[in-house]
Structure 1
């Protein structure tokens, strides 16, 4: 489950542009691949997917325990997962618009 608290997690936001007919396919396929290949990686916390209401964008809000864990994953040579995700993106005609990293600075909650 995502934990949004100051300085508790390392956050990666990925935004894809996609034709609306492929939005749900993109989300479902990448989620399946995360379940199969990435979920058990050391440092992985969560991946949340947000679908724009117009069907043309998908944002992945990914959390890792640390930037170091994410960097290790990225450089680990998990070629099977990387290739599979690239194939899904290609099949859906999606374009990666942004990949950005963040730290949580402030949280305001109504609890």
Structure 2
């Protein structure tokens, strides 16, 4: 479950454009690889997938314990397999990365409603 706190986790966001009929396939395909491989990588916290109402965009919001753990992810076991599988899903769904690469962020401020 994602936890959003100021200066607690390192956040990476990737934005994709996709045909509406392939939006869910893109989400499921990437999420399956995260479930199978990436969630086992040291420092991984969570991945959330956001689907635009028009069906044309997907945002992947991923949290890591630190920037260093995210940068070391390509050295983790099965990282090549996961990367190749994710690239295959993106190609099969004819999705385009809006950002070219992922954007990285830190949570600078959070405003919450008290429940």
TM-score by length of 1: 0.96
Map Cα deviations across residues 16-56 of structure 1 (whole Å, 9 max, x no partner): 00000100000011111111010111100000000000000
1:105 has 2:108 as partner: yes
Structure 2 gap ranges (5+):
none
Distance in 1 (alpha carbons) for counterparts of 2:92 and 2:21? 12
Secondary structure class of the residue paired with 2:41 = coil
Secondary structure class of the residue paired with 2:58 = strand
Q: Give 1:13's aligned residue.
A: 13
TM-score by length of 2: 0.93
> What CA RMSD, in Å, does the superposition of the two structures yield over aligned residues?
1.1
Map Cα deviations across residues 30-88 of structure 1 (whole Å, 9 max, x no partner): 11111101011110000000000000000000000000000000354721000000000
Q: Give 1:35's aligned residue.
A: 35
How many aligned positions are there? 111
Using the TM superposition, name which of 87-96 and 72-81 deviates more: 72-81
Map Cα deviations across residues 69-108 of structure 1 (whole Å, 9 max, x no partner): 0000035472100000000000000011122000001100
Structure 1 gap ranges (5+):
none
Runs of 4+ that moved beyond 4 A: none
